[in-house]
Structure 1
Amino acid sequence: MIINHEYPFNKVEHEYFKEIVNNLNPQFKLISRNTLKSDCMGIYQEEKRKLYKFLDKLDSRISCTIDLWSSEHTKDAYLCLTCHFVDEEWVLQKKILSFVKMEGDHTGDDISKVVMDCLLK
């Protein structure tokens, strides 16, 4: 639920969420947000490993694109690296390879360094 609906990890600590879960099943023990975060990061690492294994066996070429934007509230900048490819059924697919906080200026040199770091990882 947290991953599919992109809820924050502290959702499990919300008063009404706890109440609803308790009403559905009083014996259910909620996990902490730290345990939830750890579990989600484990799922992320496993999915990343599967994606890299899949891309390693891919017969077609891939095309990479980047999106770069800044948060209106915090002024933090983020970079998303996405790969696009045609699968065996000739359907265009896309997969996010990396999503990182962008440090430094938004110059071409700085952006290319971040993209290269993402690709090398």
Structure 2
Amino acid sequence: MITHLELLNTKALQIFSQGLQPLFRPICRNTARSDVMKLYGEEKTRMMHFLESIEGRIAITTDMWTANYQKKGYMTVTAHFNDDSWQLQSRLLRFIYVPCPHTTEKLTNVLMNSLLDWNIDKKLSTLTVDNCSTNNCMIDLMVDKLPFDSLILGRSLFHMRCAAHILNLIVRSGLDVFGHGIEKVRNSCRFWTATPKRHDTFQKNAKCENVSCKKNLVVDCKT
């Protein structure tokens, strides 16, 4: 639903645009949505034909992502393959909302439907996922749904564990040893970057102590 503020902003944009060019006639949101979906359909058809023409296999990576402001879960499905020049290519196939609860069966169905929708279920090489029990169970269900003769080496190479996630777990485990001190640094950065006034005060204090540094305080990303 469009709010009053959004309506005012839209009207103001129309007035501003017509002031620059009186002949400008903005389109409605329904027309914009229709154009975007039409373009998406054309690009999807082109990409499907391209994937079908690939003689090699396609590796899939998938992950769940939760939007902080919506508290909703989304699944991404990305295809990786080598083109005719033997260059690694990656294409994001799906970014789809997955309603709660995120059970193994639901995640499996969403992923499987995505593969069937793109007609690549018989061209898979590997499936890379994070190291969690839900994904382990999802792999077992995926193997049962896929044709046995379509996977290489009797499906033994189908399940790939995300190396970046493994390294992340190792680093987090190591940081837990002195996590109390790290949390103090994080809290200090949050405090001094909360307002412009605090940031300026921090810069003045650093200058008084003859601390020379051109970088600003940044709160790190735990992931």
TM-score, normalised by the number of residues in structure 2: 0.46
Farther off after superposition, 83-92 or 104-113: 104-113
Give 1:28 deviation, angstroms. Answer: 1.7
Residue 51 of structure 1: aligned partner: 47
Corresponding letter in the other structure for 2:98? M
| Rg comparison, structure with higher value | 2
Structure 2: gaps spanning 5 or more residues:
1-5, 118-223
Residue 56 of structure 2: aligned partner: 60
Q: Give 3-state SS (helix, strand or coil) of 1:38's partner.
A: helix
Residue 108 of structure 1: aligned partner: 104
Residue 31 of structure 1: aligned partner: 27
CA RMSD of aligned residues (A): 2.0
Q: Give 3-state SS (helix, strand or coil) of 1:51's partner.
A: helix
Which of 76, 87, 92 does residue 91 from structure 1 map onto?
Answer: 87
Farther off after superposition, 16-25 or 63-72: 16-25
How many percent of aligned residue pairs carry the same amino acid? 35
Higher strand share: 1
Higher helix share: 2
Q: Distance in 1 between matches of 2:89 and 2:75?
A: 20
Q: Give 3-state SS (helix, strand or coil) of 1:100's partner.
A: strand
Residue 5 of structure 1: aligned partner: none
Q: Distance in 2 between matches of 1:93 and 1:19?
A: 44
Structure 1: gaps spanning 5 or more residues:
1-9
Q: Distance in 2 between matches of 1:95 and 1:20?
A: 38
Equivalent residues of 2:73, 2:100 under 8 A apart: no
Q: Distance in 2 between matches of 1:89 and 1:23?
A: 50
**Offset from partner CA, 1:51-83 (integer Å, 9 cap, x none):** 111111112211011121111122111011110
> Runs (4+) of structure 1 moved beyond 4 Å?
none
Corresponding letter in the other structure for 2:30? N
TM-score, normalised by the number of residues in structure 1: 0.80
**Offset from partner CA, 1:12-43 (integer Å, 9 cap, x none):** x7244324422332102110011101110110
Q: Give 3-state SS (helix, strand or coil) of 1:14's partner.
A: helix
Flag the 1:91–1:23 CA change in 2: closer, same or farther, 3 A: farther
